[in-house]
Amino acid sequence: MEKRTLTGVVLVAVAALFGGAAFAQFAKTEDAVKYRQSAMFLVGQHFTRVGAVVKGEAPHEKDVFANNTALVDTLIKLPWDAFMVTGSDKGSSMKPEALAQKDKFMALAKANQTEVGKLAALARGGDLNAVKAQFGETSKSCKACHDPYRSK
């Protein structure tokens, strides 16, 4: 038991060296990549469904719409630790700059989550006109991070 605890301490220390607590959550680097890609794909799918309503291409069914924005709000909180795993920029569309500029990257991520939170709150309110401007702001906050840190 004592040995096991010590192993745990060493593992945590190693994780702290190689990418922080984020590392400890994933069995391997590829899992971190797959995790964030999965979360971002789902975010994209549900955000697209929200966008279709905002653009008038799909009907505004209040509960479905609020559920889609709530899912985006839940899912957008997930991928960030997975982006911060050292070496996980290899073979993915994340530019190495995201790891080199962690604080800047994470500040953009935080700003994005704030905009998504506002969108979800407005969608729960059910006033589609109020949602429309916030949808634009939210899209901008996605792009603000994609532009510098995601390769085309």
Q: What are phi and psi of 94, to 5 degrees?
A: -80, 130
Q: Using DSSP, state whether 94 is helix, strand or coil.
A: strand
**By the 8 A CB rule, do 30 and 36 touch?**
no
**Burial of residue 59, with CB atoms counted within 10 A of its CB: 0-12 exposed, 13-18 middle, 19 or more buried:** exposed
- Shortest CB 97 distance to a copy of itself, Å: 25
CA distance 150 to 94: 5
By CB under 8 A, is residue 35 in contact with a copy of itself? yes
By CB under 8 A, is residue 34 in contact with a copy of itself? yes
By CB under 8 A, is residue 30 in contact with a copy of itself? no
CB of 71 or CB of 120, closer to a copy of itself: 71
Positions 72 through 131 that interact with a copy of itself (CB under 8 A): 74, 78
**By the 8 A CB rule, do 70 and 143 touch?**
no
Among 15, 20, 42, 97, binds a copy of itself (CB under 8 A): 42
By CB under 8 A, is residue 15 in contact with a copy of itself? no
CA distance 27 to 33: 11
Contact window for a copy of itself (CB under 8 A) among 39-47, 90-98, 103-111, 131-139: 39-47
By CB under 8 A, is residue 49 in contact with a copy of itself? yes
- Positions touching a copy of itself (CB under 8 A) are 25-26, 31, 34-35, 37-39, 41-42, 45, 49, 71, 74, 78
